[in-house]
Amino acid sequence: MNEERILKYLSDLMNEAEKSEFERELSTNEMLRAEYEKIKNGLNELKFVPKTDETYFRNLPVNIRERISRKKKKKYYRTFVATAAFTVLILFFILPQNNKDNSELLQTNFDFTYNIDQINEEIYSNTSLDEIAEGFSLDRYLSNLSKNVSPEEVEEYLDEEYAGIPADLILENLQISDTEIERIYNELKKEKFL
Amino acid sequence: MSAKEDKELVIDFLNGNEAAFNLLVRKYQNKIYWYARRMLGNHSDADEVTQEVLITLYEKLNTFKFESSLSTWIYKITNSKTLNLIRKQKVREFMSLDKIFNKSASDDIINDFENAEKLELLEKALKQIPPKQREVFVLRHFEELSYNEIAEITGKAVGTLKANYFHALKKITELINNE
């Protein structure tokens, strides 16, 4: 009984009258005071901050810079590939209208394709599973869930789609937006999977 | 350090002074890490969130309008990234068909034994509280923020936060008594 009141007081859940009454009792009732102190001290003891390896915090800004620069590089590659692909497409449609020689056109396309492949290779070697995870279909996954499929069927679906790449690894590399995560989480809760 | 100094650092950074960003990192990295750590219960996840928050800070500081304090804004980002990681982990656990991931303690950054043990017990206890109660408990009890500040960070009504805090206190007290 006392504990409930003490916790209400500490949570600021009492109205003004209850609060004044509790504070008055606290100054006169020794048992209540002892119980209050015990709870408060127990909670305060949780407020310790352990000593940590200082190198972790010292290196953090450097690690952040490295990640930011990797991210920028990846973004640059993506933009470059998209621009190159777009240019190839434009050349393909424009050049014949300008009566360019067909062999010249083929050569241009070949050069661009070659460069794009090179860049693609570099992207894959830099980004591991990121690109694979981008192909993951959340809607298909969720629609499977709502059909009350068994865990084995979910596994089978993931195996078919991702040729044995563990599901948790896919999800780890999946670039899902916060809203989508919330949607999946709520969906799984609704279906009582979580 | 005052809010004005935060503002100066942000403006310096936005004007191209990269060293100002390092000062902001140095100022907030511990707060971010320990909030994430208490919410997530292990170093590896807390590290992931800390790095993501700092990267977001780097990329989005130009959108910060000083309508709240920088500290509140950083807590808001940290809280949202932490809750998303918790959700993601739950979904991942489900997708991995009940495989439970125990993060290894070998890469932990805690280097005093006595407190490492205490921290482990605390993290165990915190994990038993639902995330909604845990967030208000950590923000109020450890970060010592007011309900109004927590409401700004979490977007929840003060009344709801008080009730969540009460339930969290009840469970934590129970767990302390059982230790």
CATH number at B1-104:
1.10.1740.10
Q: What are phi and psi of A177, to 5 degrees?
A: -75, 160
A13 in contact with B at a CB cutoff of 8 Å?
yes
DSSP B54: H
- Kindly state whether residues A172 and A146 are assigned to the same domain: yes
Considering the domain architecture, whether residues A73 and A101 belong to the same structural domain is answered as yes
- Domain tally for chain A? 3
Angle at B164 (CA atoms; ends B161, B170), nearest 5 degrees: 140
Q: Which pLDDT does position A183 carry in this prediction?
A: 76
What is the rounded CA–CA span in Å between residue A43 and residue B138?
Answer: 12
In a domain, residue A100? The reply is yes
* A182 interaction partners in chain B (CB closer than 8 Å): 84, 87
Asked whether the predicted pLDDT for residue A78 surpasses 80, the reply is no
Same domain, yes or no: A165 and A104: no
Q: Write down which residue in A127, A155, A182 finishes a domain.
A: A127
Name the closest residue on chain B to residue A158, using Cα atoms. Answer: B95
**Closest residue to A64, CB basis, from B54, B90, B115:** B54
Summarised one tens digit per residue, pLDDT across range B117-153 is 889 999 999 999 999 999 999 999 999 999 999 999 9
Task: Give 10-residue mean pLDDT values along chain B (179 residues).
Answer: 77 94 94 97 95 96 93 96 91 65 69 85 93 97 97 97 97 87
Interface contact flag, B54 A60, Cβ < 8 Å: yes
How far are the Cα atoms of A57, A66, B110 from residue B21, in angstroms, in the given order? 15, 14, 26
Same domain assignment for residues A40 and A65? no
What are the tens digits of pLDDT across the range A175-187? 566 677 777 777 7
d(C-alpha B160, C-alpha B147), whole Å? 10
Instruction: Tell whether A30 and A83 lie within a shared domain.
Output: no
Minimum-distance CB partner of B109 among A43, A53, A176:
A53
Helical ranges in chain A per DSSP H: 2-10, 16-28, 30-44, 54-97, 102-127, 130-134, 138-146, 151-162, 167-173, 178-190
- DSSP-derived letter for residue A164 is T
Q: With contact defined as beta carbons under 8 Å apart, do A184 and B91 qualify?
A: yes
Residue A156: pLDDT over 90: no
Q: Would residue A73 count as lying in a domain?
A: yes
Q: Is residue A145 part of a domain?
A: yes
- A127 confidence band (pLDDT: 50, 70, 90): very low
Among the candidates A77, A92, A127, a domain finishes at A127
User: What's the pLDDT at A132?
Assistant: 44
pLDDT of residue A131: 46
Q: Which domain holds residue A110?
A: 54-127
Answer yes or no: do A171 and B88 touch at CB < 8 A: yes
Which residues, including other chains, have CB under 8 Å from residue B153's CB and lie 6 or more apart? Answer: B72, B75, B76, B79, B139, B145
Q: Are residues A32 and A58 in the same domain?
A: no
Provide the number of CB pairs (under 8 Å) joining chain A to chain B: 120
Domain locations along chain B: 1-104, 110-179
Does A114 share its domain with A70? yes
| ipTM at complex level | 0.88
pLDDT of residue B98: 47
> Is 50 exceeded by the pLDDT of residue A124?
no
Helices (H), chain B: 3-14, 18-40, 43-60, 70-95, 113-127, 131-137, 147-154, 158-178
The CATH code belonging to domain B110-179 is 1.10.10.10
Residue A150 lies in a domain: yes
pLDDT in tens, A158-178: 555 555 555 555 555 555 666
Residue B38, Cα to own-chain centre: how many angstroms?
Answer: 7
pLDDT at A90: 78
A120 domain residue, yes or no: yes
What is the distance between the alpha carbons of residues B50 and A79, in angstroms, rounded to a whole number? 28
Give residue A188's pLDDT band: very low, low, confident or very high (50, 70, 90): confident
